[in-house]
Structure 1
Amino acid sequence: MTISTYIPKLTAEQKFMGSVLIVNGGNYLYNLALGRILGPELFADAALLITFLLVLSFVAMTFQLATAKFSVLFEHNVLTNFVNLSYRYATLVGVILGALLILFAKDLQGVFNTQSHLMFTIFGFGVPIYFVMSVNRGIYQGTKKFENLAITYQGEMISRLVITLLFVYFLPFHPSVLIAIGIIASFVFGLIPFKVNNLSLLKKYTLSKEHSKQVIRFFILTAFYECTQIIINNSDILLVKHYFEEHQAGLYASLALIGRVVYFVAWMFVMLLLPKVVQKQKDGLEHASILFKYVGYISILALVIVLGCYLFPELAINILFGSDYISIAPLLWKYAIATSLFAISNIFAYYFLSLNRYIPVILSAVLGISQVVFIVFFHESLLEVVLMQIIAMSILLLVQLAYFFYENRKR
């Protein structure tokens, strides 16, 4: 039984949306609990590990979105071959990236000023599992089996929350090591339920030249965009961890966690957007209305969150993290603006991505790199770091809107 089954009158999509809200709430509770238990200095290392988890999720999302899209487009034997190839290549990529993390663990410790390199080593062993889990989720997403998709997210969230907190409270090891173990354990639970029908790692599977070309084009386009997501969504935390001392980095991590709530909720709409737009395009139907519906939802949510952060910043910091983090309160609403702009532009980007349009992806890459450049040159204070992101994300949203209206006018 999953949480969503207790509301039988709702549609599968509505149940999934409710499940995503619950999962996001659980993930927030996980981060908030660690912030309160560890304090700013130790939380800086924990937040870095959580950032690595987010980076991993963006890379693996390439496989999830590709699997979701072609689960809609392909049928019968073609779909079986594609799914098996997806699992095979996802596992291979996961093993390679995991091995690189293990190999360069000590170097990463030096770059990010962490207290232990074991956190990176342990995390590396879990990377292949995450990639397999992402393909599994892509199948459920593309076939609109939102009940099973919800279970995988709930299993990952609940297990990570419970296992990590129990470890941190009762085991006498460095918190970052215990958090890494808890993350790997959650990947295993996130595999449930695992789709094994017609799955074989030994049998040779192939796709036709035409189908292979479709998959490769979309995969490269998606991978490129996910790289820009990594840059935009995580570069600030990594750069702050590099440029600022532990206490400041811990404060900034708490700021990022609160301010990004609108972005994490926006993912719920991305999950629903892609298969709908692909199906509409396949059927030759209008699909821009789907985009505007989800943009409207995210815009309203963003406005509420920014106003809340502007009117009650100290209250929000006190309730969520405690008085140790109160000095970061004046930056809260500004950071919320930056993430809101990114969340809205992200909906446009994934809409175009589902239609195989590559120009918005290039635009996102350019602005993502510009954000990093801005922060590298302007990081005298945490305020300056936040302002650089507002500038970059404002430009990104404007160019995405301009491209959308240009394409619509041309058609």
Structure 2
Amino acid sequence: MQFIASLKSKKITPEQLFMLSVLVVNGGNYLYNLILGRLLGPAQFADAAVLITFLLVLSFAAMTFQLVTAKFSVLFENQVLKGFISKVYKNALVVGIIMGVLIVVFANQLQNLFNTSSSNMFIVFGCGVPLYFLMSVNRGVFQGKKNFKSLSITYQGEMLSRLIITLGLILIFNIQSSVVIAVGIIASFVFGLIPFKVPTIIPKKALELSKTHTKEIRAFFIITVFYELTQIIINNSDILLVKHYFEAYEAGLYASLALIGRMVYFIAWMFVMLLLPTVVQLKKDGKETASILFKYVGYIAVISIAIIVLCLSFPETIITLLFGDSYIAMAPLLWKYAIATSMFAISNIFAYYYLSLDKYIPVVITGVFGVLQMGLVIFYHESLEQVVHMQIIAMLLLLGIQLVFFKYNQIKEKAI
């Protein structure tokens, strides 16, 4: 009885609940990809990987609205906050519709560019894009207010519905089509909107933000757009370029490698979600923020080292267990890819930290090296191994520059 009572007294904090939820979501997303890889095989999985990559690109684009909403949900209050949220929803919906229409209109060109078997999968995917932008603003409100319970529900709903609906369609109807995957993705956007509170209709005057607020929002939005663009380039350009330059079989093999190697990045994302509102609030309260950065960098470094060691020690076992013998050719590259993503994950923590503090040089640095990585792969892609090596070079330079900037900034602050 005393043991049970002690367990009850130790309540799980909302932050811990969210971290646990993110681990479950990442696990579910990995399971989704792994099952698709086994069911479809390398060649067909290459098409699925393009759609999954498009989903990641969309998530980074929509993350701009989520981060802007999260940050100013901390800073704004009452009617100003309501007016701000209402405007963000409207702008996000407009951008989502424009992006969705572009994907639908250029579906045939996208099919030719990425060597996919169908253009219909892009048409179906494009129809769901506006929903994703609405979902991201909704999540930004929860993130900024640290309503981690509701935030967890939206991610759980998206992951579970995509997993169940997609695999259900494939297994029940025996349809191994990229269009089915696109349908599952769209359905998950609907479930990801839950819980969704329709913005309150308030008087027009209350919607008008001051020039100061508008300027702050615009500045942060622009730099966040730029940064999320760099995230898209660094995280997804390699898969799309490999799909363009290599045959479907090799592209499918590489997609499996990327999925396993990026495990550390998806774990790091969990800490980024907690980092931004915490740093903004500490800055607002006039408190120091570096300790939070050290805490999360330490977590990511330990996790990264553990994953790299595992990938180096048991590469064939990991690939066989996760994807099967068809993908075993990627075993020698697994630990190398893990190194590249680990360096990027740590660099990302620094960039988001300074983004929270309205310091944008690290964001520009990330952009430069994102373009460098893409350029290196475009010019050096004789083999999949060379593609991985180019990413290691770019990410090593990026992490080094981020560390130098942090040290310089610390010295500069102490001198003031």
Asked whether the two chains share a fold, i.e. TM above 0.5, the reply is yes
- Gap change, CA 1:334 and 1:7, over 3 Å in 2: farther
Whether the 8 Å contact between 1:260 and 1:339 is mirrored in structure 2 is yes
Matched residue, 1:12: 14
Matched residue, 2:244: 242
Matched residue, 2:3: none
Matched residue, 1:272: 274
- Gap change, CA 1:113 and 1:203, over 3 Å in 2: farther
Q: Where do 5+ consecutive residues of structure 1 fail to align?
A: 1-5
Shift of 1:133: 0.2
Matched residue, 1:261: 263
1:179 to 178, 181, 186: 181
- Residue identity matched to 2:163: L
Matched residue, 1:331: 333
Q: Which 4+ stretches in 1 moved above 3 angstroms?
A: 199-204
Q: Where do 5+ consecutive residues of structure 2 fail to align?
A: 1-7
RMSD of aligned alpha carbons: 1.5
Normalising by structure 2, we get a TM-score of: 0.96
Q: C-alpha separation between the residues in 2 aligned to 1:97 and 1:178?
A: 21
Q: Size of the alignment, in residue pairs?
A: 406
1:340-360 per-residue CA deviation (whole Å, 9 max, x = no partner) reads 000000000000101111111
Whether the 8 Å contact between 1:353 and 1:361 is mirrored in structure 2 is yes
Whether the 8 Å contact between 2:86 and 2:199 is mirrored in structure 1 is no
Q: C-alpha separation between the residues in 2 aligned to 1:196 and 1:7?
A: 36
Q: C-alpha separation between the residues in 2 aligned to 1:191 and 1:206?
A: 27
Shift of 1:173: 4.4
2:52 to 34, 50, 60: 50
Whether the 8 Å contact between 1:7 and 1:15 is mirrored in structure 2 is no
Q: C-alpha separation between the residues in 1 aligned to 2:167 and 2:208?
A: 45
- Residue identity matched to 2:122: F
Q: C-alpha separation between the residues in 2 aligned to 1:126 and 1:134?
A: 13
Shift of 1:9: 1.9
Shift of 1:169: 1.5
Whether the 8 Å contact between 1:67 and 1:83 is mirrored in structure 2 is yes
- Residue identity matched to 1:322: G
Shift of 1:175: 1.7
Whether the 8 Å contact between 2:280 and 2:357 is mirrored in structure 1 is yes
1:136 is the counterpart of 2:138: yes
Q: C-alpha separation between the residues in 1 aligned to 2:21 and 2:247?
A: 37
Matched residue, 2:5: none
- Gap change, CA 1:195 and 1:315, over 3 Å in 2: same
1:39 to 41, 63, 71: 41
Normalising by structure 1, we get a TM-score of: 0.97
Shift of 1:205: 2.5
Whether the 8 Å contact between 1:20 and 1:268 is mirrored in structure 2 is yes
Q: C-alpha separation between the residues in 1 aligned to 2:206 and 2:78?
A: 16
Q: C-alpha separation between the residues in 1 aligned to 2:355 and 2:302?
A: 24
Q: How does 1:24-173 map to 2 (within 5 A)?
A: 24-171=26-173, 173=175
Shift of 1:171: 2.8
Matched residue, 2:381: 379
- Residue identity matched to 1:383: E
Whether the 8 Å contact between 1:101 and 1:121 is mirrored in structure 2 is yes
- Residue identity matched to 1:341: M
- Residue identity matched to 1:178: V
- Residue identity matched to 2:243: K
Shift of 1:172: 5.3
- Gap change, CA 1:273 and 1:314, over 3 Å in 2: same
Q: C-alpha separation between the residues in 1 aligned to 2:305 and 2:206?
A: 51
Matched residue, 2:361: 359
- Residue identity matched to 1:344: I
1:210-245 per-residue CA deviation (whole Å, 9 max, x = no partner) reads 100000000001000000000000000000000000
